[in-house]
Structure formats: structure tokens, C-alpha cells
Amino acid sequence: MNDVLRHDWTLEELQALHDAPLLDLVFQAATVHRQFHNPREMQVSKLISIKTGACPEDCSYCAQSSRYSTGVGAERMMDRAQVVEIASRAKAAGVSRVCLGAAWRSVKDNDQFDRVLDMVRSVTDMGMEVCCTLGMLTENQAKRLEDAGLYAYNHNVDSSEEFYETIITTRTYADRLQTLGNVRKTNVTLCSGGIIGLGESVIDRLKMLQTLAAVRPHPESVPINILSRVEGTPLADNADVPVWEVIRMIATTRLVMPKSDVRLTAGRVKLDPTAQAMCFLAGANSIFSSETEFMLTKAVPSPSYDADRELLSALGMTMRPAFANPHSSRAAECAAESAAGHSVVAVA
Ligand code: SAM
Ligand code: SF4
């Protein structure tokens, strides 16, 4: 049995977990999952792209990078009323969290950021958890988001440090960790994970888990994306990730970060209901759902509210209400880590 809440996993240990016979691994992960989470509850989020396209970054997987011809053009930033309207429909569908995404390299202290802060206040006032994913963030900007009531900030490390350099050249892994550290200086919870199917090795995936597990406390939410191949990007012709590898990654993530929500995100649409159920058994307890069949842009498909309602109902599961994460004592954990002299993010 794994030791709870470790920050010092060795690669050998991670590999031993990951490479165990699949059903042993799933059984172990399901056991740990049940110790820390209600296995009948699913955390469901709705992603709203508040500023789509024309991103200056060159992330090789992304439909929104201005470097590639993907058919996703620059759109004007959404206004508050539009966001509130989409959030209201999501709430009516049982969704507890709204994630506001912007195709920005980093946040600038301008009128657009003020408008995001307004959106955060409005959706929080509706009784929903709000997450933002806006690119790099300074400590001061993280504090302003905290003051506006932000519940979570998403910033993925995507892969291992070595592999990261081959998929993104316009920023460094250290930049990414810096933003995680800035968020950790506030009471905003952290959502950070990565993508499988970029062409990385299993060792890259495990190194990514090692990096995430070194964050103190562990990110409250760990998204595992499966690459959604986008026409026009350098990764458009990548091979599909075999379903067994998806299940292994979910189960290993659950074992390494037992208290975190493990989020089965982009690419879930590729998995049939039985494969999704296997991922849920292996510890995935968080998903994105959408009223249309798209998640982020028309290039990234997502299961719909109706399909997910049917799936959860077939599995005897319900949607977790907002602010009901049993492990949300983040502020106290952070204080304890600092008091013990640990830095919050192990910057390489
Ligand atoms: N610009 C912000 C940033 O990069 O942090 C937020 C935009 S985007 C929502 C954030 C994440 O979505 C990426 O870090 C990546 O993990 C995921 N993502 C984007 N495109 C994807 C794709 N085609 N397939 C799988 N995951 C994808
Ligand atoms: Fe820009 Fe984010 Fe897409 Fe990278 S993942 S190109 S930073 S929107």
C-alpha cells in the first residue's frame, strides 16, 4: 500500500506502480480512491473559452496558437452577461464549477483582466466554484483573483521538463512552476496536470507525476488530458493512446496523489462508456461536460450534458455539489508546509 501524501516519489517506485498487472493496479487505485473520496460522486465542470484564438505561444498541440492554421480564428472577449448565461445553464444541468479559459501567454494588468475579475465575482455569487486558466500569473494577479473569490487556478505542466522543451519553445518549464508557486501563495486551489499522447515516453509521464507530487500540498485537481489531435498543428498525425495506457495513467495518478481530484479531461470523448467507467473505478472523479459537443474550441470535442447525465445515472453516480470537496483544508496545509520549512514548489 502506498504511503499517503508523499512528495518524494522516486522514478523506480512510480514505474513499479505504473507497470503492475493492469487489474492489480486498478484494484489498488480503486481501494485508495475509496479511502479518500466518495466513489459515487463526480465533480463536473464546464469550460467557457472567454477569449479564443490568436495566442502567441507555440504549444504544438493547441488549436489556438497563432502559429498554426487550424481554422480557429481570433474572437472578441466574451462579456460578463454571456458568461453568466452559460454558467446559469450549466448550474441548471448540475455542474458545480465553471472554468474560464483565455488564449493568453500571460495575464496583463489591463481592462481585460478587470473584466475577468468581474466574471469571477459574478459566477462565484451564483454559488458555483470558479476556476481560471489564463496563462502565466504574477503573485499580485493571483492575489487579485483570490480577492475576487476565485476557487481554483489551472496551469498544466503538460509533460516532463525534458519533453516539454520539444512541444513548447516560447516559455520554459520553470516559468510554469513559477506560476504554480504564485498561486500557492494564495488560498486559491491549484489545478495542474498534463497531456498524454504528445509522443512522450512512459518515463516522461512518470516524471510529470513526480513534479506534480513535489508540489506542497499536492494540486487539489490533476487533469489528465488525452491529446485531441488538431488539424494544422505539428501533432495532427500522432497515434492514438491505447485505452490501457489511459487507465494506467489515471490509476497511477490516483495512487501518487490520493487526496487530489483526478480529472479525465480532453480526449474523454474518445473513450466508450465502459472505458470511462474503468477510469472512474481507477480513481478519476472529475470531468468536463458541455452543452454542445465541444469543450474548448470546435477543435476539441467533449461529451454533452445529456450524454454525461445518462452515463452517471447508469453507473449510479451523482454530481458533487459546489464547495463539497472533502479535502479543501488547503490553507491550513500550506501554512503547515511553510512552517516545516518546505518550499511550496520544487523549482528545478
Ligand atoms: N493559455 C492557457 C494556458 O496554456 O495555460 C490556457 C489554455 S488551455 C485550456 C490549457 C490546457 O488545455 C493546456 O495546458 C493543455 O493541457 C490542454 N489542451 C489544450 N489543447 C489541447 C489538445 N488539443 N488536446 C489535449 N489537451 C489540450
Ligand atoms: Fe496558448 Fe494556452 Fe494554447 Fe498554449 S495551450 S497555445 S498558451 S492557449
pLDDT of 288: 87
Residue at 5 is within a domain:
no
Which element (helix H / strand E) includes 124?
helix 111-125
Tell me, in angstroms, the distance from the centre of ligand 1 to residue 55's CA.
11
pLDDT of 327: 76
> Please, which residues have CB within 8 angstroms of residue 287's CB and are 6 or more apart in sequence?
42, 43, 44, 45, 263, 264, 265, 268, 303, 308
* Residue from 184, 205, 254, 263 carrying the catalytic annotation: 263
Q: What is the CATH number of the domain that holds 159?
A: 3.20.20.70
Which mutation among 62, 195, 233 tests ligand 2's pocket best, with the greatest number of atoms within 8 A of CB? 62
Convert 231-251 into a string of H (helix), E (strand) and C (coil): CCCCCCCCCCCCHHHHHHHHH
Residue at 140 is within a domain:
yes
Ligand 2 contacts CB of residue 62 (under 6 A): yes
Rounded Cα gap, residues 158 and 250, in angstroms: 15
Ligand 2 contacts CB of residue 134 (under 6 A): no
Rounded Cα gap, residues 289 and 295, in angstroms: 7
* Residue from 55, 171, 248, 320 carrying the catalytic annotation: 55
C-alpha cell at 116: 475577468
Give the alpha-carbon dihedral of 292, 193, 191, 119, to 10 degrees: -40
Indicate the number of domains in the chain.
1
Residue at 76 is within a domain:
yes
* Residue from 144, 171, 191, 320 carrying the catalytic annotation: 191
Residue at 6 is within a domain:
no
Q: Classify residue 172 as exposed, middle or buried by CB count within 10 Å of its CB (0-12, 13-18, 19+).
A: middle
Nearest residue CA, atom 4 of ligand 1? 135
Nearest residue CA, atom 2 of ligand 2? 103
Which element (helix H / strand E) includes 131?
strand 129-133
User: Which ligand is closest to the CA of 288, given by its number?
Assistant: 1
pLDDT of 301: 65
Rounded Cα gap, residues 274 and 280, in angstroms: 10
Convert 152-203 into a string of H (helix), E (strand) and C (coil): EEECCCECCHHHHHHHCCCCCHHHHHHHHHHHHCCCCEEECCEEECCCCCHH
The rounded mean pLDDT for the chain is 89
Tens-digit pLDDT string for the chain (348 aa): 445 789 999 999 999 999 999 999 999 999 999 999 999 999 999 989 898 888 889 899 998 898 888 888 888 899 999 999 999 988 988 899 999 999 999 999 999 999 999 999 999 989 899 999 999 999 999 999 999 999 999 999 999 999 999 999 999 999 999 999 999 999 999 999 999 999 999 999 999 999 999 999 999 999 999 998 898 999 999 999 999 999 999 999 999 999 999 999 888 888 999 999 999 999 999 998 887 655 555 556 677 887 888 899 999 999 988 888 877 654 445 445 545 655 545 543
Residue at 346 is within a domain:
no
- For the question of residue 334 being annotated catalytic, the response is no
SS3 43: strand
pLDDT of 347: 41
Rounded Cα gap, residues 299 and 241, in angstroms: 18
pLDDT of 253: 98
C-alpha cell at 7: 512528495
Residue at 263 is within a domain:
yes
- For the question of residue 184 being annotated catalytic, the response is no
Residue at 347 is within a domain:
no
Positive/negative CA dihedral, 297, 215, 178, 248: negative
Residue at 24 is within a domain:
yes
| Parent domain of 39 | 11-336
Q: What is the pLDDT of residues 81-94, one digit of tens each?
A: 999 999 998 898 88
CB 300 within 8 A of CB 53: no
SS3 8: coil
Ligand 1 contacts CB of residue 276 (under 6 A): no
* Residue from 62, 216, 229, 320 carrying the catalytic annotation: 62
